[in-house]
């Protein structure tokens, strides 16, 4: 009878230890997800070293990220609600969309991943001219 009580206590101790290890592992895995966020700000590649973007032109916008999960990109002009411009499921540590500016003016691009907003990138959009891959703003 005494041996059975000790044996039962030993089993309870092993189960408790295993449970505490599982809680610790779950906490570590969860901590990685909680910190998943953009690792930089959007980079709108500018062809021909132009300093402005053209309406109707297409530009690849990339942003470094530190986890998997959808990344949404937005264009923001102060005083107006943000405009959704695209989303991407990153391949590795980089999310990429194609951005087509619609309106002239000073704007900001930013990304959101897992509820965390990236720093903003300021962009100047002017009238776009061109077609078939050759397009610029003046």
**Per-residue model confidence as pLDDT tens digits over 86-108:** 999 998 899 999 999 999 999 99
- 117 and 94 both lie in a single domain: yes
pTM over the 0.85 mark: no
- 28 and 70 both lie in a single domain: no
Q: Return the residue matching tokens 């309406």.
A: 55
CA torsion sign, 81 to 82 to 86 to 91?
negative
Q: Return the residue matching tokens 């990138």.
A: 121
Highest mean pLDDT among 32-36, 95-99, 128-132: 95-99
**pLDDT of 27 above 80:** no
- Quote the tokens at residue 63: 């942003």
- 17 and 54 both lie in a single domain: no
- 30 and 49 both lie in a single domain: no
Please state the rounded mean pLDDT for residues 11-35. 42
Is 111 within 8 Å of 71 (Cβ atoms)?
Answer: yes
Q: How far is CA 30 from the centre of its chain?
A: 18
Number of structural domains, the chain?
2
Residue 12 lies in domain: 1-34
Q: How far is CA 103 from the centre of its chain?
A: 24
- Look up the CATH number of the domain holding residue 97: 2.60.40.730
């Amino acid at each position: 009878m005494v041996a059975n009580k000790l044996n039962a206590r030993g089993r309870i101790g092993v189960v408790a230890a295993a449970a505490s290890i599982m809680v610790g592992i779950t906490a570590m895995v969860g901590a990685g997800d909680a910190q998943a966020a953009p690792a930089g700000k959007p980079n709108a590649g500018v062809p021909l070293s132009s300093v402005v973007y053209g309406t109707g032109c297409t530009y690849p916008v990339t942003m470094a990220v530190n986890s998997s999960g959808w990344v949404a990109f937005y264009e923001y002009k102060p005083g107006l609600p943000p405009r959704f411009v695209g989303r991407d499921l990153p391949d590795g540590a980089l999310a990429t969309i194609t951005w087509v500016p619609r309106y002239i003016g000073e704007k900001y691009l930013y990304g959101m991943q897992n509820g965390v907003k990236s720093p903003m990138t300021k962009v100047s959009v002017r009238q776009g001219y061109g077609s078939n891959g050759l397009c610029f703003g003046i």
